[in-house]
Chains A and B, each alone.
Chain A
Amino acid sequence: MIDSSIDAVHRKTRLRLSFSGIHLVLYFSFSLNWTQWGQGLRSAIGATEITGSLLMFVLLVLAFITLETIFMMLSRWGRR
């Protein structure tokens, strides 16, 4: 019986590591702002003063919370 439990744990572990991987990629993408590849982010969006960098900050915060919400929902469905 413990083998089937371990299989279930492995599935959950993969889920945990996948979400962590996505999170880390998003998290470290913020450092692009300090590289040549992130030059475009410094420009203002449309006629506003809001730059791509500032928008990226807010979107990353929201993306992290969204990821956590999805993770919670998947965990709940998994329990059912």
Chain B
Amino acid sequence: MKPRHLLPIALCALLVMAPGLGLAAGSLDDTGGGQAINPTAIAMFLLFVAFTLYVTWWASKSTTTSSTFYNAGGKISGAQNGLAIAGDFMSAASFLGITGLMYVGGFDGLILSLGAFGAWPILMFLFAKRVRNLGSFTFIDVISQRLDRDPIRLVTAFSTILIVIMYLIAQMVGAGKLIQLLFGLPYEVALLLVSGLVLAYVAFGGMLATTWVQIIKAGLLLTGVTLIAFLLLADSGFSFSTLLGKAVDAHPKGEAILGSGVIFDDPVQILTIQVSMLFGTVGLPHILMRLFTVPDMRQAKLSAYYASLFIGYFYIALLVLGFGSIAYVASAPEFFDAGGKLIGGSNMAAIHVATAMGGDILTGFMSAVCFATILAVVAGLTLSGAAAISHDVYAEVLKKGKPNPKTELRLTRASVLLIGLAAVLLGIAFQEENIAFIATIPMVVSASVTFPILFLSLFWSGFTTRGAMAGALVGLVSSIVLIVLGPQVWVSVLGHAQPWFPYDYPALFTMPVSMAVMVWVSKSDRSPRGEVDRDNYAQLLVRSEFGEADAEASRA
């Protein structure tokens, strides 16, 4: 049976499962600390899943080769891809986490918004065009054009898989808890549901389905936040100042929430967050992979531009939502339990403000969008991890760039299954752990390993394989060691009184160290391979800027 023939079966299975979903939800109607079950949320979620499975079935008809699987055949337009990239980043963590942080500390929460948004211009200025011109399916294609392909592919594929797995664990644990809270489903069932749907999207529809799921979800999320922001402003006479005034009156810290210092007071801590968020985001493999889904370099640049527009708009809307959540949730007793705690914790502030503004329908819509968001982000991550295994390791390293296409595609689908299974098992294993440090690792490793290698490959003629390997090793080890010695593991997980290293995000220190090692080892590299790496730079530079055709012309 061909994979696409399984999709209608999956769709039927979902519809058969629907009453069970409602039953599970109904039986947990009054779970302590959770949301009351919202049938609108379940109905909207089922509608989204049915539609996205239909999209997957449609996409599976054209997902027959490795190329269409990894990069949707390069047929996505710049605007569509920009929305998909924006969708990759406008995760449930952004929507719920940033609004929640603003609910607690007002202005201080915005550091995460700006930190995340700041990455997109850098992606556009430095990487979008050059990465698109040099790569085929993953960013590792780009660096292996110049450096010794086998060792560099193995090192970067390892860091990619580490980033993807860590990011996946954080998403899966977050997803399990969120779905438990929003829909009342048991944690393990929530993980299986997420994993099953993601496997259907990715294994059958590849990048084409993953991209369209992301586009649909991004459109829904932007619609939702726009609606809530509009309702908040309308209720304040379309005056942001009036809304801020209500927030000041409702928050125990009063006017202090309109400036810095409620949550963070150390400028170095702010810098560590900024460096990790900016350079970590730029190096995320599932974001870079999206640059290959467009037909040419111009569309790649347009993708980054459109992504910036959508994400910029999203974060400005979150500014309204964040202060709106203080104004309309902090003073409303119906959102607090008997002990006076916000139901579901501060991460639920965004959902509560939707309830305050739009009742059950808007709550249902936003809950369904949050679930959709998780599905779409996990799908992108899974695809990226599968590509690292089947394309970077199997096809390029083991088969020296000449794999059997059918075997490669089979291996990709098997990798998707493997990653899905690992995500569920690790999600269950880590469910009781403090996962904040797990979410930190991908950003810090990405900033300390992926970004320096990619940047120096494209912008420094003296870069060599030996330098890249040494710097990557130092970046990886120092990131993990400092995270373990920092507050999130040393104090929160291991229970010590004081951390050895005072900051949660060590990229401010590990990234410069990693780059310095890369430069120093490259400069002292006198090996024949080092000479080849340096000589490769001129050709790579021309091809990166003008594309393959122009580079051929200039060689002639």
- Measured CB to CB, the residues of A under 8 A from B are 1-2, 4-6, 8-9, 12-13, 16-17, 19-20, 23-24, 27-28, 30-31, 33-35, 38, 41-42, 44, 48-51, 53-54, 57-58, 60-62, 64-65, 67-69, 71-72, 75
Q: Is A30 in contact with B319, judged by CB distance below 8 angstroms?
A: no
Q: Is A53 in contact with B319, judged by CB distance below 8 angstroms?
A: no
In the complex, which residues 525-556 of chain B have their Cβ closer than 8 Å to any Cβ of chain A? 538-539, 541-542, 544-546, 550-551, 553-556
Task: List A contacts of B308 (CB < 8 A).
Answer: 64-65, 68
Interface size on B (CB < 8 Å)? Answer: 55
- B258 within 8 A of partner (CB): yes
Partner of A72, one of B117, B301, B541, B551: B301
- B135 within 8 A of partner (CB): no
Task: List B contacts of A38 (CB < 8 A).
Answer: 260
Whole-angstrom CA separation of A58 from B244 in the bound complex: 15
Q: Is B113 in contact with A57, judged by CB distance below 8 angstroms?
A: yes
Q: Tell me the nearest residue of chain B to A19, going by C-beta.
A: B125
Q: Tell me the nearest residue of chain B to A72, going by C-beta.
A: B305
B180-188, B209-217, B266-274, B387-395 - the one binding chain A:
B266-274
- B126 within 8 A of partner (CB): yes
Q: Tell me the nearest residue of chain B to A50, going by C-beta.
A: B241
Q: Is B260 in contact with A23, judged by CB distance below 8 angstroms?
A: no
Q: Is A64 in contact with B554, judged by CB distance below 8 angstroms?
A: no
Nearest-neighbour CB distance to chain B for A1, whole angstroms, equals: 5
Partner of A44, one of B118, B258, B316, B545: B258
Q: Is A48 in contact with B316, judged by CB distance below 8 angstroms?
A: no
- B259 within 8 A of partner (CB): yes
Also in contact, A71 and B270, with CB within 8 A (given A12-B545, A51-B258): no
Also in contact, A60 and B271, with CB within 8 A (given A42-B259, A48-B241, A75-B301): no
- B201 within 8 A of partner (CB): no
Task: List A contacts of B312 (CB < 8 A).
Answer: 61-62, 64-65
- B445 within 8 A of partner (CB): no
Also in contact, A34 and B260, with CB within 8 A (given A16-B126, A28-B274, A64-B308): yes
Task: List B contacts of A6 (CB < 8 A).
Answer: 538, 541-542
Partner of B278, one of A27, A50, A58: A27
Q: Is B301 in contact with A2, judged by CB distance below 8 angstroms?
A: no
Task: List B contacts of A64 (CB < 8 A).
Answer: 117-118, 120-121, 308, 312
Whole-angstrom CA separation of A76 from B258 in the bound complex: 41
- B309 within 8 A of partner (CB): yes
- B122 within 8 A of partner (CB): yes
Beyond A4-B554, A64-B120, list 15 extra A-B contacts (CB 8 Å): A2-B554, A6-B541, A6-B542, A8-B545, A9-B542, A13-B541, A23-B121, A23-B122, A27-B118, A33-B260, A34-B267, A42-B258, A54-B107, A57-B107, A57-B113
Whole-angstrom CA separation of A78 from B126 in the bound complex: 16
24 interchain pairs (CB within 8 A)?
Answer: A2-B555, A5-B554, A6-B538, A23-B121, A23-B122, A27-B114, A30-B111, A31-B267, A31-B270, A33-B107, A33-B259, A34-B264, A42-B258, A44-B258, A49-B258, A50-B244, A57-B107, A57-B110, A61-B117, A64-B120, A64-B308, A64-B312, A65-B312, A72-B305
Task: List A contacts of B551 (CB < 8 A).
Answer: 5
Contact with A along B101-133 (1 / 0, CB 8 A): 000000100110110011011101110000000
Top-8 shortest CB links A-B: A42-B259, A49-B244, A48-B241, A33-B260, A5-B554, A27-B118, A34-B267, A51-B258
Partner of A30, one of B114, B261, B538: B114
Whole-angstrom CA separation of A72 from B29 in the bound complex: 52
Q: Is A2 in contact with B542, judged by CB distance below 8 angstroms?
A: yes
Nearest-neighbour CB distance to chain B for A42, whole angstroms, equals: 3
Q: Is A31 in contact with B274, judged by CB distance below 8 angstroms?
A: yes
Q: Is A42 in contact with B545, judged by CB distance below 8 angstroms?
A: no
Q: Tally A-B pairs: CB < 8 A.
A: 134
Partner of A23, one of B118, B240, B274: B118
- B432 within 8 A of partner (CB): no
Q: Is A61 in contact with B274, judged by CB distance below 8 angstroms?
A: no
Q: Tell me the nearest residue of chain B to A31, going by C-beta.
A: B270
Also in contact, A9 and B545, with CB within 8 A (given A20-B125, A42-B259): yes
Q: Tell me the nearest residue of chain B to A43, going by C-beta.
A: B259
Task: List B contacts of A28 (CB < 8 A).
Answer: 271, 274
Q: Is B259 in contact with A57, judged by CB distance below 8 angstroms?
A: no
Contact with A along B294-334 (1 / 0, CB 8 A): 00000001101100110010011001000000000000000
Partner of B265, one of A8, A34, A61, A67: A34
In the complex, which residues 246-280 of chain B have their Cβ closer than 8 Å to any Cβ of chain A? 248, 258-261, 264-267, 270-271, 274, 278
Whole-angstrom CA separation of A45 from B554 in the bound complex: 57
Whole-angstrom CA separation of A16 from B126 in the bound complex: 6
- B51 within 8 A of partner (CB): no
Nearest-neighbour CB distance to chain A for B260, whole angstroms, equals: 4
- B245 within 8 A of partner (CB): yes
Q: Tell me the nearest residue of chain A to B546, going by C-beta.
A: A5
Q: Is A2 in contact with B261, judged by CB distance below 8 angstroms?
A: no
Task: List B contacts of A48 (CB < 8 A).
Answer: 241, 244
- B520 within 8 A of partner (CB): no
Q: Is B245 in contact with A49, judged by CB distance below 8 angstroms?
A: yes
Whole-angstrom CA separation of A48 from B242 in the bound complex: 8
Task: List B contacts of A75 (CB < 8 A).
Answer: 301
Whole-angstrom CA separation of A58 from B544 in the bound complex: 34
